[in-house]
Structure 1
Amino acid sequence: MAFGLSAAAQAQMKVGFVYVGPIGDHGWNYQHHQGLLQLKRALGSKVKTTHVEKVPENADATRVITKLASTGHNLIFTTSFGYMNPTNKVAKRFPKVTFEHATGYKRLSPNVSTYSARFYEGRYVAGKIVGKMTKTNTIGYVASFPIPEVIRGINATYLSAKSVNPKIKIKVVWVSTWYDPGKEADAAKALIDQGADVIMQHTDSPAPLQVAEKRGVYAVGQASDMRNFGKKAHLTAIVNNWAPYYVARTKAVMDGNWKQQNTWHGFKEGMVKMAPYNSAIPAGVVKLAEDTRKGIIAGTIHPFEGEIRDQAGKVRIPAGKRADDGLMAGMNFYVQGIDGTIPK
């Protein structure tokens, strides 16, 4: 089923964005908002945008999404995993409004699409770098929530780092939040105190990077280029490039050819990029990282190529096989070699 606008609505399309944190986080929400700004630049007066920041992943999300749908918005992007059920609930009530949900998997009505980026590809590239740059052989990882997207990133980082440094260990602190600079900073401090000399994160503020800068260790940014918050510490960052998708999907609604789909793009499509590499990284390690990135694009490298076992020793991906999207989308286990347990 294709969705489009009447001639009157096409004159100026209203597009809404819902963010789980502040646009000033300089991470996840900041990068989605950069997509909004580029959408406005690309389509000019043809679009009017609205954004709502710091919307919790609970009944508040349902209220905010409903308000956008009931105030003339033709297209609504809900940009956090926890908005999945609220998005589908509201979409059922407003069949003429188009909804796009980031990082989820439920499309319960024909007017709902889902989209995400293959962040794990970036973490696999970063894993090569941190595996080579660590002196203590210990990576610290500040994690948000135990959902497949986050677990997948931890596993990709560990497998990649271990491939270049067999002594590597990864320590994970779960902070149960996407954005809380205080909690994120405390987690980074605890990890450094436990011997980590490289900090990775799957949270949204630059606080872990700032702690790394103060403590004289390295870090990798999350979602956007964070180097201005710690120029010595910042090795690189996994950058999410949402703008082309936002422009394309908005145009599809305007042109009447929007169709329900699930999008999961990575390096190849340009939805995931690497921030510039720190000059402290040796040329050979930069080449290793770039060869890995190019290999993922070419299809000669896959971050989850077997044999891969879980912590219990069970073979999850047989030798010579690659994880399919279903296994990766539902990943709920640590790979063999990672200590600790995943919170329930």
Structure 2
Amino acid sequence: MTISRRNILKIGGAAAALPLLGSKAFAQTEPLKVGFIYVGTINDNGYNYAHNQGRIYLQEQLGDAVVTTYVENVPEGPDCERVIRELAQQGNKLIFTTSFGFGDATIKVAQEFPDVAFEHATGYMKADNVGLYNARFYEGRAVCGTIAGHLSKTGKAAYIGSFPIPEVVMGINALALSARRINPAFTVKPVYISTWNDPAKEADAARALIDQGVDIIAQHTDGPAALQVAQERGIVGGFGQGADMTAFAPETQLTAIIDHWGPHYLASAKAVIAGTWTAGDTWEGLKEDVVQIGPYNAKIPADVVADAEKIKAGQIDGSFKIFTGPIKDNTGTERVPAGVAMTDAELLSMDWYVEGVEQPV
């Protein structure tokens, strides 16, 4: 059974890339055709929208040197293999498969087209012509948690998640740790809706959580429905996910975590054109500009913005790491000793919640 694009990752960070079939295996003498496959619609105003903005960025930067194609709304099931194969048959020499559930199909089709470079987002299976790429979304949660800790009047936040997988658990924990740095009594209530994008489920979850006393809503789903409910109900606010969602909740979005895939897509395309592409394994964040923080709502006090910017800057220059001990889990057991920072491998297998996070039911 396929779960999702962001299922349990089994990689240990940015591994060194190995040469692929000779340094000029993918050199281009004509416009490079680049294909993208998305699990949802480019109009979801979140994850898939952000990937498509990356495609547009690539096209704008390289102009006539590339021709890009995308296929949207491809389910994480048997049909994705057909779509990936068709992209290869159409002459695309670089193909980005942007959802975790496309992993098996990517590996299978890549074996049939050894002269095509494939890159799989948030996956863990590599091959000579299949690279991996991911983003440190949790770094943005640390910034959001700082704002939540300062602004929440009830000291209670909700986190609407898709599936209880490491990527989402990391985000919940980063938000809680950062908020509790400001308010040690701060709590986070996670709710999973078992989908990445279902506006009705997201809205219903937001209403139920607000009824339970939360006044901050974070999310790891792809649309703006929860933010819109937050605005309707007049709570303190929430955070955009994947893209700036200010247009949907101008009074309520406090800031947003923006996925900026463009620089990665540009670098990969340039490497294919130059004949230097290798099957890499990257996990980039604020420092590399793959994760961005959106504009701050004007209602946020200047000192709170300054604290949020301090956390952002610290993650960029390496002076601040949110997952540094002492860290206890929500049963009171110490998980990370004082002064010790969790490794990438530990983060990518995270299946426990930090102190202050309610156990999902």
Task: Tell me the percent identity.
Answer: 51
What residue in structure 2 maps to residue 332 of structure 1?
351
2:144 is aligned, of 126, 129, 136, to 126
Q: Deviations over 1:4-36 (max 9, x none)?
A: 5667x5312111101111101111111111111
2:356 alignment partner, SS class = coil
Q: Which amino acid aligns with 1:45?
A: D
Q: Deviations over 1:298-338 (max 9, x none)?
A: 21110100011223443322111001111111111112331
CA contact (8 A) 1:10 1:46 kept: no
Q: Which amino acid aligns with 1:270?
A: D
Measured at CA, do residues 75 and 233 of structure 1 come closer, stay the same or move farther in structure 2, by a change above 3 Å?
Answer: same
1:257 is aligned, of 237, 258, 276, to 276
Q: Which runs of 5+ in 1 are unaligned?
A: none
What residue in structure 2 maps to residue 305 of structure 1?
324
Q: Deviations over 1:227-247 (max 9, x none)?
A: 111111010001111111101
1:66 and 1:165 mapped to 2: Cα distance? 51
CA contact (8 A) 1:119 1:266 kept: yes
1:30 and 1:4 mapped to 2: Cα distance? 33
Task: Name the one with the larger helix percent.
Answer: 1
1:23 is aligned, of 42, 49, 56, to 42
Higher deviation after alignment, 185-194 or 117-126: 185-194
2:95 and 2:262 mapped to 1: Cα distance? 15
What residue in structure 1 maps to residue 240 of structure 2?
221
Q: Deviations over 1:222-265 (max 9, x none)?
A: 01111111111010001111111101101101110001111111
1:5 and 1:71 mapped to 2: Cα distance? 19
What residue in structure 1 maps to residue 251 of structure 2?
232
Q: Per chain length, whose mean CA-contact separation is higher, i.e. which structure has more relative contact order (CA < 8 Å, sep 6+)?
A: 2
2:132 alignment partner, SS class = strand
Shift of 1:52: 0.8
The answer on 1:79 being equivalent to 2:113 is: no
Matches within 5 A, 1:21-60: 21-60=40-79
What TM-score, normalized by structure 2, do the two folds share? 0.91
CA contact (8 A) 1:185 1:208 kept: yes
Aligned-pair RMSD on alpha carbons? 1.5
CA contact (8 A) 2:227 2:240 kept: yes
Q: Deviations over 1:189-225 (max 9, x none)?
A: 1111111111101011111111111111211000111
1:199 is aligned, of 217, 222, 228, to 217
Shift of 1:68: 1.1
CA contact (8 A) 1:13 1:254 kept: yes
1:178 is aligned, of 190, 193, 196, to 196
CA contact (8 A) 1:5 1:254 kept: no
What residue in structure 2 maps to residue 157 of structure 1?
175
The count of corresponding residues between Structure 1 and Structure 2 is 340
2:344 and 2:129 mapped to 1: Cα distance? 23
Q: Which amino acid aligns with 1:311?
A: N
2:287 is aligned, of 248, 253, 268, to 268
What residue in structure 2 maps to residue 279 of structure 1?
298
1:288 and 1:265 mapped to 2: Cα distance? 23
What TM-score, normalized by structure 1, do the two folds share? 0.95
What residue in structure 1 maps to residue 84 of structure 2?
65
1:10 and 1:56 mapped to 2: Cα distance? 34
1:46 and 1:299 mapped to 2: Cα distance? 36
CA contact (8 A) 1:307 1:318 kept: yes
1:141 is aligned, of 133, 142, 159, to 159
1:5 and 1:93 mapped to 2: Cα distance? 16
The answer on 1:296 being equivalent to 2:327 is: no
2:111 and 2:80 mapped to 1: Cα distance? 15
1:117 is aligned, of 129, 135, 140, to 135
1:317 and 1:90 mapped to 2: Cα distance? 41
1:230 and 1:247 mapped to 2: Cα distance? 31
Shift of 1:340: 1.5
The answer on 1:105 being equivalent to 2:124 is: yes
1:16 alignment partner, SS class = strand
Shift of 1:103: 1.2
CA contact (8 A) 2:189 2:360 kept: no
Measured at CA, do residues 92 and 6 of structure 1 come closer, stay the same or move farther in structure 2, by a change above 3 Å?
Answer: closer
